[in-house]
Structures are given as C-alpha cells and as structure tokens.
Amino acid sequence: MKTAPLLKAAAIALACAGVVGADGGRDGDRHKPIPLTVPKAKCGPHDRPETALQGQVPAALRAAGFKGFNCNLELVGQARGDGANWQTTQFKQKVRGHHRHDDDDDDDDGRHGGHDKHDKHDNDGKHSAKTRVCGYHGTASAARSLPGRTNFGVRALDITDPHKPTITAYLDTPSMHDPWESLKVNERRQILGADNGQNGGGGPEIDLYDISQDCRFPQLIVTAPVGTGADGGVVATIIGHEGSWAPDGLTYYGGDLRSRQYYAVDTTDPTRPKLLANWVPGIANVHGMSISDDGKRGYFVSLGSAVIADLTDPTKTGTNGLLIYDLSEIQARMPNPQVRLVGQVLFKDGSTAQHTINVKIGGKPYIIFVDEGGSGGRTQAGWTAACAAGFPPFGVARIIDISDETHPKIVSRLLLETNNPAHCAQVLPDLVGLTGFTYDSHYCSVDNRKNATTLACGYFNSGIRVFDIRDPRRPKEIAYYNPPGTVTASPGSNHANRVGGWVAGGPDWCSAQVHLDAKNGRLWTTCQDNGVLVLKFRKGVWPFDETTTPPGQQN
C-alpha cells in the first residue's frame, strides 16, 4: 500500500527533527534518518520469535490456536485465577526477622542489595530484612463476568516468590469491585486507592486501603462518595473511571469520562476524602494523567475520538493529545482552586488517548504518552479508513519533549510494524470479525521516572513489549512476550465477555501496567485471559548498567 503524502510528511518531520540531544545516539546512527517503526529486538537462540511482522499474530496462527511468542523474556510464574481486566499496581514492603534468600535486600533504587546497619540484623544477628512484593489487579464486574464466579473484585497477591504468585485476599468494596483503570498505590503514604469505575463508569465512591502493616492483606480505611457536599468539599456529580495519585499522596486525581471532567480529591485525612475541584477541558473527553513531584503540574490527556473525514483535511486540527495544567492552587489548598492550561500538543495520527508518565531521560523532561486507538478509531471501518489515508490504524505510545511546557514537541512514536500503514494489506485480514482493541497500545511503565532508560507496554494482541528509550528520539525494542491464547474463557476477564473480543485460541489482551525489577532482571504484569505473568529477561539483555527500579517511580 502506498504511503499517503500526509504520513510521508510526518515521517520526514520526524527524521528531520534535529540532531539528537545530549542523551546522544546509542548505536552510532545519530545522522541517519529516524525510522518510522521501532527497530526489532534481536532474539536469543531458544526463543520463539514472531514469524511475520513485528507485533503481528497472523490469521493462520489465530485459527490454529496461537501458541505464543517470546523474545528475550521467558515465563517463570503464573496465576491465572479468573483472569484480569485493565490495571495492576504494586507495593514493596520491608519485613523484619526473616532468613535471607535470593530475592531479599532490594535497596531503595531496586537494583543492588544492602541495607543500613539497623536493617541488616535483628537482635541475634542471624536475620535480615526481607522485601515482600505485593501485587494488586482488577477483575471484571459481576455484570461483565461469565457465569460461575464466586470471588469478585481486586486480587491482592504475594509475588515475593516469582515462581508462585499467590492470591492472598479479595477486595470487593464498591470501587474495588471493578476499579477499571484507577487502581493505584501511593508508596509514600502506603495506601491503595481506586475510584468506582465499574463497567467504565460506576459512581462517586473512592476506596482507600491501608497496606502498611501487611500488604498481602489490605485493610479498608474508607469507602465514601465524593462530590455530595456531605464530605465538606465541592458539590459535583462524579463518576469514576481513571485515576492517579499526586506523589505526596495528599491528592487523588480522577478522570470521569461520563461527565467529561477531571477532578481532584483531598486525601490528607484518608478517613474523610473530599472533592477539592472539578473541571471540563472543553476540547474533547478525559482519561488518564500523571502529576509532577511537587504536585504543581498535571500532565493530562485530551481523549479525542477519530473523525475519519478530517484525517486528510489540513484545515482540521486534531483533538487528541497532551494537556499540561498548572495545579498550584489545588496543591496549596486555596479556596475555590482554579486550574490553568499551560501548554498542549494535539494530533490526528492517534485517538482515544489513555494516559501519561512524566519522566526525565538524560536529565531532560519528557512525557510518555499512550493512545489506545488508532487514527480512525477501533472499528473495521476506522482501520480501513486510516490505512487509506496513510495514517497508523492502531494506537501507539509516543515520547514528547516538554522542555518548553508551553510548546510540547513529539520526538518519537513507538510504532511496531503492525502499526505502519504500509503493512495494512498484511495486517487487516488478521482482524476479520473483531472489533475494539487489537494491535493497539494501552498502558506503559518506565523503570525510573527520574532517570528513565526502559519503557514496558501492553500492546493488546501484540503482547508485552519492552523498549530501550535512553535515546528518546530513537527508541529500540529489546524484548517481547506474547502469551499463548487460552482455549477456555477466563470468567473475570473483560476480554471474555465482549462481542468481537475473546476467541478460543486467539491472542490475549495485554493491557495493564508492567512492573520492572532491575535487581532480579524480571517483570510482572497481567494479560486479561492468562492472568498474572512473571517474566525473566535473558541474561545480558536487561537491566542496563544505569537502570534502577525504585519503588513508586514506574508510573
């Protein structure tokens, strides 16, 4: 398929975006044109690499029962359970009085072992602190589940032994019943939080759990509606969907797609959450966000829906993109706090913006920005129209330079070969009969927001993809894992109860945050049909020499 002029222009603009900055080229190619798609990972001798395009599960493999692909990542532990849905989060906890083993003694940067003198030994000098790893993931609501389920809600897991991830508790309060994409831990205050995102928009409740004592068994602090006026805050109709903490844990921000608004909840007293502010961006809809370390900046998305007729019309601007807000008045708890738009970048080569991660790469500020829809949306007609216009048919992650917050600039797009419109004729036959999420990105994580070297993303049918982003203009793929298709449906998966979704033996939906562990060269996440997956990198592939994974710095 011939590339349309607009996409050619976009590719040329990327290639001519300027000399690579101080972070530099990593492979001596800084003067070469920047490729449209991310260079493919070089797999090991015992891997099961992809057989067609990068990210592709061809129609023939789907029909025969997909056996999975892996490159520089291998499965070491799994807990399928009832499956999973949209989001995961993690907490690492130091526990005194245990014998040491191979996974003990992560220090604060998550890379090298060692503690201070007070942590190394207890009174008899024979024990040391142990790092307990707890994970949490959502499952589908009762309305979305298949028959036969007995335990609903968020799963708490002990992942300390990576070979045996174990469910330890079920959280089934109103927001935890189905937190959608809002399930997040605040490390500083040791709180697990979510809003009521049931079926994409449940209600005004915020649920907060204490995980400070034993993270395997979260203790409910409160489940309370916000915006009613009874909380002492602003009165507004709030419906949950997405959410994220300010790093200090004193404010929880939400994205309400039903009311097309963002909102901020005061959690200073976690027993009495109250609504501080709400606002409507007025450009498009809302979704995810990330907040600066000082709480004064917010990096929110404008969730633009694809308008196919506008793709090739140069007079029509996009509505999908990044919005940077000044949150200083909220952070300072001023009366009637106002937010101010500082800068934005909008585009048409993607839609349905999902979330952001504010990072530094080589000391320079960037935003990792992720779409969950392609240029024409998430339908057969939309994919076909995007391809005809020469635009990427599926959602991708991208890296945005925010050195000048008033003028953010896209510096790279993490297109796999499946996302390249030049390959549409090879890719679209894979998706006959499907709708919604296929080869799209959804949720990404980094190793360390303060010094990001690595990006790990769920790309739905393309599986879990890991990238070297030390040169943000030239990201490179280093590993991937695409789990085998399941032959029976997982009753708690949102994939399983959708028209045009789960097919026996077809590829999974990998959609959740990925948790990287540099010390042990591992990651864990969920894919919706396969449940919890713990993966280990091939030796020498990852981590990089400068890689660290401090708690709370991945997303």
- Triad 513, 519, 523: Cα angle to 5°: 25
Fold held by 5-17+46-85+133-537: Methylamine Dehydrogenase; Chain H (2.130.10)
pLDDT at 35 (0 to 100): 76
- DSSP 3-state of 5: helix
Q: How far is CA 379 from the centre of its chain?
A: 22
Cα–Cα distance, 217 to 219 (Å, whole number): 6
E runs forming strands in 188-294: 191-195, 205-210, 219-225, 242-245, 251-256, 261-266, 274-279, 289-291
Structure tokens at 153: 């809600």
Cα–Cα distance, 271 to 123 (Å, whole number): 36
Q: Are 267 and 249 in contact (CB under 8 A)?
A: yes
Q: Encode 458-476 in three state secondary structure.
A: ECHHHCEEEEECCCCCCCE
Q: Are 434 and 460 in contact (CB under 8 A)?
A: no
pLDDT at 539 (0 to 100): 96
Cα–Cα distance, 121 to 118 (Å, whole number): 7
Q: How far is CA 503 from CA 149, 202, 254, 517, in A?
A: 20, 27, 33, 32
- DSSP 3-state of 319: coil
Cα–Cα distance, 152 to 141 (Å, whole number): 7
Structure tokens at 341: 């738009």
Q: Are 400 and 409 in contact (CB under 8 A)?
A: yes
Q: Are 104 and 520 in contact (CB under 8 A)?
A: no
b/e burial code for range 115-125 (CB count within 10 A of at least 16 → b): beeeeeeeeee
Cα–Cα distance, 316 to 296 (Å, whole number): 32
Cα–Cα distance, 100 to 94 (Å, whole number): 12
pLDDT at 128 (0 to 100): 59
E runs forming strands in 313-428: 320-326, 340-347, 351-361, 364-373, 397-401, 409-413
Q: Encode 161-180 in three state secondary structure.
A: CCCCCEEEEEECCCCCCCCC
Question: Where does 45-131 have alpha helices with state H?
Answer: 59-64, 117-120
Max Cα distance, the chain (Å): 75
Burial class (CB in 10 A: 0-12, 13-18, 19+), 143: exposed
Question: Where does 250-369 have alpha helices with state H?
Answer: 328-331
Domain range list for the chain: 5-17+46-85+133-537
- DSSP 3-state of 329: helix
pLDDT at 497 (0 to 100): 81
Block means of pLDDT (10 residues each) for the chain, 555 residues, are 41 34 44 82 96 97 97 98 96 76 47 37 51 97 90 97 98 97 97 96 96 98 96 94 97 97 98 98 96 98 93 92 98 97 97 98 98 94 95 97 98 97 96 91 98 98 98 97 96 85 94 97 98 98 97 90
Closest CA to 532 of 499, 490, 472, 470: 490
Residue with tokens 């690595």: 454
In this structure, which amino acid lies at residue 285? N
Cα–Cα distance, 89 to 181 (Å, whole number): 10
Q: Are 175 and 205 in contact (CB under 8 A)?
A: yes
pLDDT at 96 (0 to 100): 80
Cα–Cα distance, 179 to 407 (Å, whole number): 34
Q: Are 508 and 495 in contact (CB under 8 A)?
A: yes
Q: How far is CA 354 from CA 215, 292, 304, 373, 444, in A?
A: 28, 18, 10, 9, 10
Q: What are φ and ψ of residue 61, in 5° steps?
A: -70, -35
Q: How far is CA 256 from CA 176, 263, 302, 367, 534, in A?
A: 16, 8, 12, 22, 32
Cα–Cα distance, 510 to 484 (Å, whole number): 12
H or E element that contains 236: none
Using DSSP bridges, classify how beta strands 261-266 and 251-256 pair: parallel, antiparallel or unpaired.
antiparallel
Give the torsion sign (CA, 535, 536, 540, 545).
Answer: positive
Closest CA to 264 of 283, 301, 291, 285: 291
Q: How far is CA 450 from CA 471, 526, 537, in A?
A: 15, 25, 23
In this structure, which amino acid lies at residue 190? Q
